[in-house]
């Protein structure tokens, strides 16, 4: 993870308070941070300078608010009595960004277009990994050349945050897929009649 020029890094946390805390910790060594409004009034963007593995970086830190996407059945399966409930086991599902998260999606798209790296600061569990891949999907749709990294941390303290950003790992698609599978199964079961 080294190179000559300064790179732009889009950092995305799971919630606004985590984004602010991480930005405050990391920006102390680079001379402070600036804050500006994103498309969503709840998800600010913090900008500061930082070095990752000796690489000078212009860091942009923002957040989502939990899951960015929802799973839903295709239109022909979404109304009550539109199909045999057993058909839902084989019905296609799709992930989409709901109306109330579109401003967050637009912020991610706008910022990702101008970045070389995407660093995901989501909870270090399967749910967090699933949210990470929702962010990845949105960002890659506008910038297919992003270098994608995952920050693993267990507390919002200086040592943890600095250690995490200096030891980035790749996100785990298998953990994310496990959550998708669970959500699909739970969604289908809620439509099926009780069985003994």
Sequence ranges of the domains in the chain: 7-67+105-166
pLDDT of residue 68: 82
CA distance 41 to 33: 18
pLDDT of residue 192: 44
Is 3.40.50.140 the CATH number for 7-67+105-166? yes
Split the chain (196 residues) into runs of 10 and give each run's mean pLDDT. 75 96 92 92 95 95 88 62 64 77 96 98 82 93 96 94 95 57 50 42
pLDDT of residue 32: 87
pLDDT of residue 73: 63
pLDDT of residue 47: 97
Q: Considering the entire predicted model, what is its pTM?
A: 0.79
At residue 117, what are phi and psi to the nearest 5 degrees?
-120, 150
pLDDT of residue 177: 47
Tell the burial category of 64 from Cβ atoms under 10 Å away from its Cβ (0-12, 13-18, 19+): buried
Three-state DSSP at 51 gives strand
């Amino acid at each position: 993870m080294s190179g000559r020029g300064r790179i732009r890094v889009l950092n995305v946390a799971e919630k606004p308070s985590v984004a602010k805390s991480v930005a405050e910790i990391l920006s102390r060594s680079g001379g402070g941070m600036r804050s500006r409004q994103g498309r969503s009034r709840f998800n600010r963007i913090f900008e500061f300078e930082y070095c990752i593995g000796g690489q000078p970086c212009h860091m942009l830190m923002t957040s989502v608010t939990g899951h960015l996407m929802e799973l839903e059945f295709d239109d022909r399966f979404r109304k009550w009595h539109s199909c045999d409930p057993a058909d839902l086991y084989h019905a296609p599902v799709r992930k989409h960004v709901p109306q109330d998260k579109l401003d967050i999606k637009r912020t991610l798209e706008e910022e990702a277009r101008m970045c070389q790296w995407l660093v995901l600061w989501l909870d270090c569990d399967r749910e967090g990994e699933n949210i990470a891949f929702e962010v990845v999907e949105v960002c890659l749709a506008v910038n297919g050349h992003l270098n994608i990294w995952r920050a693993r941390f267990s507390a919002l303290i200086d040592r943890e945050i600095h250690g995490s950003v200096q030891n980035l790992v790749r996100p785990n698609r298998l953990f994310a897929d496990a959550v998708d599978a669970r959500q699909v199964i739970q969604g289908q079961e809620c439509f099926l009649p009780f069985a003994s």
